[in-house]
Amino acid sequence: MVSSRPPRRVAIVGGGVGGLATAIRLSSAGHAVELFERNPIVGGKLATLRRDGFTFDIGPSLVTWPDVFDDLFQCADTSLGEQLDLVRLDPQFHYSWPDGSTLDVHDDPQQTEQAFERFTPGAGADWRRFDQRAERIWEVARRTFFAGPITGPLTLAGRMRSPSDLIAIDPLRTLDTAARECFDDHRLVQWAGRYATYSGSSPYRAPATLACIPHLESAHGCWYPMGGLDAIRAALDTTARRLGTQIHTDSEVTRIVSGPHRVTGLELTDGERVPADIVVANVDALHLYRDLLPESDALRQVRRAPQSTSGFVICVGAVADADRKVGHHNVWFSSDERREFEALEAGRLADEPTIYGCVSSITDPSQAPPGFENWFLLVNTPPGAHVDRDAYAEMILEQLASRGVDIRSGARFVETMTPSDIAERYRSPGGAIYGTSSDGRRAAFLRPANRGTRAGLYLVGGSSHPGGGLPLVATGARIVADLIAEDL
């Protein structure tokens, strides 16, 4: 992608996936790009913990919608297949309920339908109807919501082909309502509702539009890059540098320099000024408009957008046990999900949370020493929640043990990460993992716009359109690059 226009000086604040993906697109277009990351390594929340021969992905743990990344690498005259050794997981997820029932969701939709039918009679047909409705949601969302910037409902409406598109994306029902109207088995309602947490949201408040996420997994697969998710970070880093992006780590931006109407550059902690024609902020919008470029009106707008949940992370170097029935990705559901989400909404820790567990060494033995497994556990917490890390970790591991999965005996170590750790590491207010959530019918329109409040300023990342998660952030980078080309 080579531009005929003269190159511009571009400064990117933050080296998360959004910043790296934007750097690749703008460098490939011929611009002079410099990226500044406050941490010693780029990647943002796409991060890794290494200890005693174990490797843990402590941010994203799977890849969905891989075409987004293939499109990105194509801009740099390479491809996703050339950059990564991707494995398509089957089964995708292993689900467990307190009553002892389990469900494996497969890569083959027909096998998934059969698994649902075995789980409870009639559920196979219910799942097929749910997936077909979700497929229609995805088809419309892809060419409307993900096609470009959103500045309000009229933007979205302008991309729709007919009023039937608005009905198709199912924005008025909640995800929980849609699930209850499809599934008779309460456990499967709980299964569907879990997908709200992919954007740090609640199934009781997020729109049924999010039903497109399980369809994405069904149709496009759940993928794992051998070597761990850090392989994506490394590929983005290497590709950006190859294209000429200058990447500065351990470089914190303290201010975005601006005139009355246009940004003119950055200022670093040591006082150095970096001139720029374009500034791309890959930081939380609250941090941007509160600290880097104070804007009272923009800050008020940002605070209207609902924050996503945060999380409490436990990493355990555990002895392998062939008798444990676990997969690469696992979910142990709580016995009362409504009570769980009510606690989160009230700002409290759930006393019996749903537990997500990733054991990537099942697929990739390089992630743990022989005879051991790398257990990454995550439970949702409110943003800003205070967590007694030792007590809460003990409670979660005990809850897991009560479900027949005791990883405490013989564990080499237990490490934890709290919402305050996440907030400090990533300058993410309250430790909100996904930036803004999808809670509420207007949530999508309350996210800060990709064009900033001054000319030359652009926003990318989980707190701006289209939201958090690897494929959405990478989509945001494409939208920002297109906006810059249009504005120039």
Q: What is the model's pLDDT at position 2?
A: 45
Q: 175 in a domain, yes or no?
A: yes
Q: 376 in a domain, yes or no?
A: no
User: Are the beta carbons of 448 and 301 closer than 8 angstroms?
Assistant: yes
Q: 319 in a domain, yes or no?
A: no
Q: What is the mean pLDDT of residues 47-73?
A: 97
Q: What is the C-alpha separation between 425 and 283, in angstroms, rounded?
A: 12
Q: What is the model's pLDDT at position 4?
A: 53
- Clarify whether residues 213 and 144 are in a common domain: yes
Strand ranges in 299-412 using DSSP code E only, listed in sequence order: 310-319, 329-332, 355-358, 372-381
Q: How confident is the model at residue 322 (pLDDT cuts 50, 70, 90)?
A: confident
Q: Across the strands, what pairs with 413?
A: 317
4 against 420, higher pLDDT: 420
Q: What is the C-alpha separation between 412 and 418, in angstroms, rounded?
A: 20
Q: How confident is the model at residue 456 (pLDDT cuts 50, 70, 90)?
A: very high
User: Are the beta carbons of 413 and 317 closer than 8 angstroms?
Assistant: yes
Give me the DSSP letters along 301-323.
HHHHSPBPPEEEEEEEEEE--TT
Identify the domain boundary among 220, 237, 256: 220
What's the distance, CA 418 to chain centroid? 17
Residue for token pair 């790398």? 374
Q: What is the model's pLDDT at position 423?
A: 96
| b/e sequence 352-385, b meaning 16+ C-beta within 10 Å | bbbbbbbbbbbebeebbbeebbbbbbbbbbbbeb
Q: What is the C-alpha separation between 45 and 230, in angstroms, rounded?
A: 11
Residue for token pair 């943003």? 383
Backbone angles phi, psi at 263, to 5 degrees: -75, 150
Q: 16 in a domain, yes or no?
A: yes
pLDDT at 331 over 90: yes
Identify the domain boundary among 174, 190, 220: 220
Average pLDDT, the chain: 95
Q: Which two tokens stand for residue 264?
A: 């003119």
**pLDDT tens, residue by residue, 79-94:** 999 999 999 999 999 9
Identify the domain boundary among 220, 239, 256: 220
- Clarify whether residues 121 and 192 are in a common domain: yes
**pLDDT tens, residue by residue, 230-266:** 999 999 999 999 999 999 999 999 999 999 899 999 9
Give the β-pairing of 278-281 and 457-459: parallel
- Clarify whether residues 149 and 166 are in a common domain: yes
Q: What is the mean pLDDT of residues 301-313?
A: 95
- Clarify whether residues 198 and 233 are in a common domain: no
Q: 33 in a domain, yes or no?
A: yes
Q: How confident is the model at residue 1 (pLDDT cuts 50, 70, 90)?
A: very low
- Clarify whether residues 133 and 215 are in a common domain: yes
- Clarify whether residues 131 and 212 are in a common domain: yes
For the chain, what is the domain count? 2
CB within 8 Å of 442: residues ≥ 6 apart = none
Residue 470 sits in a domain of what CATH number?
3.50.50.60
Give me the DSSP letters along 241-265.
HHTT-EEESS--EEEEEE-SSBEEE
- Clarify whether residues 297 and 445 are in a common domain: yes
Q: Which two tokens stand for residue 235?
A: 């590929």
Q: What is the mean pLDDT of residues 432-456?
A: 92
- Clarify whether residues 232 and 215 are in a common domain: no
Q: What is the C-alpha separation between 8 and 26, in angstroms, rounded?
A: 9
- Clarify whether residues 147 and 119 are in a common domain: yes
Rg of the chain over all Cα atoms, to the nearest angstrom: 22
Domain containing 446: what range?
9-46+68-85+226-306+437-487
Q: 442 in a domain, yes or no?
A: yes
CB within 8 Å of 297: residues ≥ 6 apart = 453
**For the whole prediction, is pTM greater than 0.85?**
yes
Backbone angles phi, psi at 136, to 5 degrees: -65, -40
- Coil, strand, or helix at residue 32? strand
CB within 8 Å of 346: residues ≥ 6 apart = 382
Q: What is the mean pLDDT of residues 344-353?
A: 97
Q: Which two tokens stand for residue 301?
A: 């707008």
CA distances (Å), 179 to each of 142, 192, 207, 353, 355, in order?
22, 6, 11, 20, 21
pLDDT at 76 over 80: yes
- Coil, strand, or helix at residue 58? coil
Q: What is the model's pLDDT at position 10?
A: 98
Q: Which two tokens stand for residue 72?
A: 């990105």
Q: What is the mean pLDDT of residues 402-421?
A: 96
Q: How confident is the model at residue 443 (pLDDT cuts 50, 70, 90)?
A: confident
Q: 385 in a domain, yes or no?
A: no
Burial (CB count <10 Å: 0-12, 13-18, 19+), residue 146: buried
Give me the DSSP letters along 155-204.
HHHHT-SSHHHHHHT--SSBHHHHHHHH-SSHHHHHHHHGGGGGGT--TT
Q: What is the C-alpha separation between 87 and 363, in angstroms, rounded?
A: 9
- Clarify whether residues 215 and 230 are in a common domain: no
Backbone angles phi, psi at 371, to 5 degrees: 85, 5
Backbone angles phi, psi at 450, to 5 degrees: -70, -30
CA distances (Å), 125 to each of 107, 110, 176, 284, in order?
17, 11, 19, 42
Nearest by Cα to 20 from 279, 237, 288: 237
Q: What is the model's pLDDT at position 235?
A: 98
Q: What is the percent of the chain with per-residue pLDDT over 70, rounded to a whole number?
A: 99
Q: What is the percent of the chain with per-residue pLDDT over 90, rounded to a whole number?
A: 92
Q: What is the mean pLDDT of residues 438-446?
A: 88
Give 449's DSSP letter.
P
- Coil, strand, or helix at residue 111? helix
pLDDT at 3 over 80: no
Q: 138 in a domain, yes or no?
A: yes
2 against 375, higher pLDDT: 375
Q: Across the strands, what pairs with 247?
A: 35
Provide, for the chain, the percentages of residues in helix, strand and coil under a 3-state DSSP scheme, each rounded to the nearest 5.
40, 20, 40
- Clarify whether residues 181 and 250 are in a common domain: no
Q: How confident is the model at residue 75 (pLDDT cuts 50, 70, 90)?
A: very high
Residue for token pair 């790296």? 20
Q: What is the model's pLDDT at position 442?
A: 85
- Clarify whether residues 241 and 291 are in a common domain: yes
